[in-house]
Amino acid sequence: MATSPNENNTALKPEVAKPKLPPMFKVLLLNDDYTPMEFVVETIERFFNKDREQATQIMLKVHTEGMGVCGVYPQDIAETKMTQVLMHAKEYQHPLQCTIEPA
Ligand code: TYC
C-alpha cells in the first residue's frame, strides 16, 4: 500500500510562539542599626526609580520588619542593582546590606 505523506506523523507541528519569560528575582534591602533613614530613602529613589513617598514606605517596611522588596527584575538586572546599592553604601561607609532571591 502506498504510504501517505507523513504517515508516521513526523512532520513538524506548526510552531506556536511561546515567549519565555525570564526567571525573576527580588532585590531586598536588609535593616541595620546604623545606616541613616535618609540615606536608605535616597538609595531606593536612585536605584529603583521610586518617588519619595514610595521609597519612604519601603524604607519604613525594612526598618520595622527587617527586610523589604525594592523591585523585581530579571536576574542580570537584579544582580546589577544589588551591586550598585552595595557599592554606593560602601562609598559612604554605611553597613547597608542588599541581596537577591528568586521571586
Ligand atoms: N534602621 C535604620 C535606622 O534606624 C534605618 C534603616 C532602614 C537601615 C532600612 C537600613 O535597609 C535599611 N537608622
Q: Is 40 in the pocket of ligand 1 (CB under 6 A)?
A: yes
The pLDDT value recorded for residue 7 is 43
Distance 38 CA to ligand 1 centre (A): 9
Q: Does residue 76 surpass a pLDDT of 70?
A: yes
The pLDDT value recorded for residue 41 is 98
Among residues 32, 35, 29, which one has the least CA distance to residue 85?
29
**Which of the four pLDDT bands, split at 50, 70 and 90, describes residue 59?**
very high
Q: Is 28 in the pocket of ligand 1 (CB under 6 A)?
A: no
**Which of the four pLDDT bands, split at 50, 70 and 90, describes residue 16?**
confident
- Rounded Cα gap, residues 92 and 40, in angstroms: 11
Quote the cell numbers at residue 49: 526609580
Q: 55: left (phi > 0), else alpha (psi -120 to 50), else beta?
A: alpha
Axis crossing angle, helix 37-48 with helix 75-91, rounded to the nearest 10: 140
Name the pTM for this structure.
0.84
Average of pLDDT values for 14-40? 92
